[in-house]
Amino acid sequence: MNIFRLAGDIAHLLAVIILLLKIWKSRSCAGISGRSQLLFAIVYTTRYLDLLTNFVSIYNSVMKVVFIAASYATLYLMYMKFKATYDHNHDTFRIEFLLIPVTALALLVNHEFSVLEILWTFSIYLESVAILPQLFMVSKTGEAESITSHYLFALGSYRALYLLNWIYRYYFEGFFDPIAVVAGVVQTVLYCDFFYLYITKVLKGKKLSLPA
């Protein structure tokens, strides 16, 4: 564990908590993409199946359980409890355009052709693009609530911090996983436009709105 990975995990945890609290406190999931949340639930489920086969540490197991539970809680709030507030007219990104290529890529480019390894690889590739329906929704409506922006910033920071973690681990531990690194770079790049808007607008107290 190094400071970058810990900071990344904290940012990730913070993002998940911000989202749950936002929905719970406002009794509304307006502006949140249910499709992205569905993809994240798939990501955590397929990645953390190794909870049953591979023990790393208490920290690791607890975080995995929290991420899985939080993703299903978010889905429950969006698709059941506060279904009436779900803005599905603006949530129209076709997720099969992500799921099909990501599945194909996971079958073709992986470390080892085994079920768990392919599911892990699939989850890494899927995570890198899972935010696209949410970003698409923000661009379609042209704006996002500040709390949604904070969520997106925390979630984007997590993988950016992981990139620093991988640089650190490469130099100090000789650890290198090209699949995770390439997907992590793609994932972080997708947030760049949002990071720019967040820093230039939201941090100056303005609402995140896109030029018409």
Residue of 2, 3, 21, 56 interacting with another protein (CB under 8 A): 56
- Residue 180 binds another protein, judged by CB under 8 A: yes
144 strand-pairing partners: 208
Q: Is 53 exposed, middle or buried (0-12, 13-18, 19+ CB in 10 A)?
A: exposed
| Cα(88)–Cα(196) distance, integer angstroms | 27
**Residue indicated by tokens 């607008």:** 201
Positions in 150-179 near another protein (CB under 8 A):
162, 165, 175-177
Q: Are strands 208-209 and 143-144 parallel, antiparallel or unpaired?
A: antiparallel
Least distance from another protein to the Cβ atom of residue 63, Å: 5
Least distance from another protein to the Cβ atom of residue 136, Å: 26
- Residue 105 binds another protein, judged by CB under 8 A: no
Q: What SS3 string covers 108-124?
A: HCCCCCCHHHHHHHHHH
- Residue 87 binds another protein, judged by CB under 8 A: no
Q: Where do contacts with another protein occur on this chain (CB under 8 A)?
A: 5, 9, 12, 50, 54, 56, 60, 63-64, 67, 110-112, 117, 120, 162, 165, 175-177, 180
